[in-house]
Amino acid sequence: MKRLLNRFLKLMDSKEEEKFYYIRVERNDKCYCDSGKKYKSCHFPEHQKKSKLAVKKINELTGEQSIKILSVKRLRKEHYRVKSNLIG
The residue ranges that bind Zn ion (CB under 5 A) are: 31, 33, 35, 42-43
Question: Please, which residue, 45 or 77, has the CB nearer to Zn ion?
Answer: 45
The letter for the amino acid at 62 is: T
Angle at 27 (CA atoms; ends 24, 29), nearest 5 degrees? 80
Question: Please, which residue, 42 or 53, has the CB nearer to Zn ion?
Answer: 42
Compute the least distance from the CB of residue 42 to Zn ion, in Å.
3
Compute the least distance from the CB of residue 31 to Zn ion, in Å.
3
Question: Please, which residue, 43 or 75, has the CB nearer to Zn ion?
Answer: 43
Neighbour-count burial for 31-61, b at 16+ CB within 10 Å, e otherwise: bbeeeeeebeebbbeebeeeebbbbbebeee
Compute the least distance from the CB of residue 34 to Zn ion, in Å.
8
